[in-house]
Chains A and B, each alone.
Chain A
């Protein structure tokens, strides 16, 4: 191997470790015996997990997050898929406008959205409510569904739909029996994306949450600003497990698509 190639590998391994390794320190920390975040952790115990599941604030946060993420995934997937499908039927300015309009929430710093939504929610009484969270998270999740389903649609053979019509299926029926199943890998992948987007969301949630309704990341965020509590490590590990599972789900859905070829 040439000298420059060795340099390339050393640099890349450094970058790779930097990307992946730091996150892993969270896991041993969650099994710490002591009430400290000092590294390396001392001893092994499950007390922080016990603490997590015994605390109504932590466990409640987790349950809120799961509930909101599932509902967000469902709503965002349905309206995002319909939107991506509708956009695929037009071209030119209408298509470009629609697509860019729908991915705006991806592009504008979420702190601006968060502040604005907080202002709006104060007036209409949605701060700290389930509908408020669903609205906010769906806005953030729809762009991912539109992009993911849109890229699946780009490879979708429109002849399939025509074939279904010719076979005697009405348009809604053809959509449900042919288009949706054919797009399923992209739709599922988009749904997992939407789930993760909601489950991980902190910035906007910080603005619109109240002591009565908090998500897990918001609870972590306020916890980190106040105290040293390894329960946060347990919460972080649980978040990692959940998002990793969802990510695997998404990757497997993409695999489904490849197998069909």
Chain B
């Protein structure tokens, strides 16, 4: 009987198929025993978290002790405006003011920080807001002269404060005001945060409990907020800060916030701190 194929070709083909089969089986066994059948994907949250507030609805339990440093929110503060120079003639009134470390020249009727320039005297200017009149006196320099300065900032000044945070936390007596430009600065320069404050995640098992302050630079905006070393930041603006992701999400949104409230734990006491952002 005549063979259709040469016996060597058939043998070669068998060897080829056996090699393929053996390798496939080995890979299959490896897949079953050692390799996972599906990947790990990070679940992405769609849209922002809804703002929520804590509420104790149980009538039998006493509410958690909370110390509130509440402030009446104000849209802008007159204290942010410094009067640098006045030009007061019968037909025109022009003043130079400093606001957020920038000088601005205002004519009668111009608005700054929500305050409208109404007029000026020999050493003061008057502004109005919500039908109220505010008086700002001219800044006097240490040598006793009024601080009349050019309206454009000095060419040497900006370079020295190029990397310095603009804005600050101002203590307005009964409440504290956080300058929005400070938040904008930190939003663009994350490393400046770590120069002023050190935070460390606190976990109980796998559950995050907040961020403990490991150090805080004296005189920094964070110290001016009233935060102290050892405080545990539990939530910011109603959002629990229970993971690095939650903290980072809050950081990414920091320049868009209109108010700031922190829930912190100091020792065994829980405190809520509220600030005006302006």
A and B part of one assembly: no
